[in-house]
Amino acid sequence: MTKRIVVTGIGATSAIGGTAPENWTNLLAGMSGTRTLEHDWVQQYELPVTFAAEAIVRPEEVLPRHEAKRLDPSSQFALIAAREAWADAGSPEVAPERLGIDFATGIGGLWTLLDAWDTLREKGPRRVMPLTVPMLMPNAAAGNLSLQFEARAYAQTVVSACASSTESIIHAFHHLQDGLADVVIAGGTESAIHPITMASFASAQALSRRNDDPAHASRPGAIDRDGFVMGEGAAALILETEEHAKARGAKIYGYVLGGGVTADAYHITGNDPEGNGAARAVTQALDEAGVTADQVTHINAHATSTPVGDPNEYVALKKVFGDRIDEIPVSATKASTGHLLGGTGALEAIFSLLALRDRVAPPTINMTEPDPAVPFRLSGEATPLGDGPQIAISNSFGFGGHNAVLVVASAD
């Protein structure tokens, strides 16, 4: 029998808030989390891009020192978001063998890896920490969450670039459907605002270069957009079967109805300009959810603010929704948060659920002159979604040609 899967807890830390409610309030207020980087290494390496969307609450402000020093920043963010989500869900009483972890990252313990390399070169092998590998491995966040919450059903990590945490939520949905767990902590994390990634993305012409105006650098859908903004942080959702949630009297944010995952097999960094892979992912997601394109009332677009990516996403959605795509309220929330890479899908899944709960599409800031090639219904103001049942899709597309689309519905 098909189970209904609900979300009962949320947690998030990003450039616009240290908790999920703060993120939502500041997103609706049109806050930009992008700021000039105040690090010596920006000048030391003469980086061509000098800004990013760093998490506004630093992990050392939240975690005890003895705990933080054993975790890469990516795992620190994951622990902060997951603890918030768990508490928000009422700390469910569930047997360890029925609690699972699906937690993603795009890169993993980058800071640990490169700091260890510097230590090896400068001080020799005896000074490399014995915990280096457990800290840098991409599955470190999932493993540490499993330890933290005594989750013994399973602990898995998806690594598919910017599609990672959307895929993890889809995996959690399927694991619950398959009866592998009653409750799952799902989400994603990233801490990759580092000289090497900033230099590499800049070299690839992927980052905005508005060094003189960082708050307005991320401009999805705008004709003068020039690249994305690096972000960081984590987001976590508590998913469980509706039966389990209602038996314990849990509040329900909304339903996860299904998801779609495809690959472009087109280019290692660019998505298919004809949008075929992305369109198939949307169609798969809607089919699994058992809803039609006409029932979708809101879209959280991937929309990174790159010159090529934004119009390609529009082409893909046009294949699925036809002319109706120009009528559906669309939000491009990376304009506010920056791009959290492997953590971005989970954060935007939370935004999608809250949009349906509050019946309002968040604003897309920095939209001055729209690009005719990206005629989404984007608005600089929060847009009412109206009455009746609400269904949203949240899109995530990643380097490697990964496409992941999540379908969620309001609780009422």
Task: Show which residues are catalytic.
Answer: 162, 302, 339
Own/partner contacts of 197-205, CB < 8 Å, gap of 24 or more, are: 197/107, 197/110, 197/230, 198/47, 198/49, 198/52, 198/230, 199/45, 199/47, 199/48, 201/49, 201/228, 201/230, 202/47, 202/48, 202/49, 204/269
Q: Which of 106, 103, 105, 405 is nearest to 262 (CA)?
A: 405
Token pair in block for residue 8 = 């009962």
Spatial separation of the C-alpha atoms in residues 2 and 341, rounded to whole Å: 32
Spatial separation of the C-alpha atoms in residues 252 and 353, rounded to whole Å: 10
**DSSP β-bridge partners for residue 155:** 101
Amino acid code (one letter) for 245: A
Spatial separation of the C-alpha atoms in residues 392 and 368, rounded to whole Å: 25
Q: How many CB atoms lie within 10 A of CB 234?
A: 37
Please state the length of the chain: 412
Spatial separation of the C-alpha atoms in residues 269 and 38, rounded to whole Å: 29
Q: How many CB atoms lie within 10 A of CB 176?
A: 26
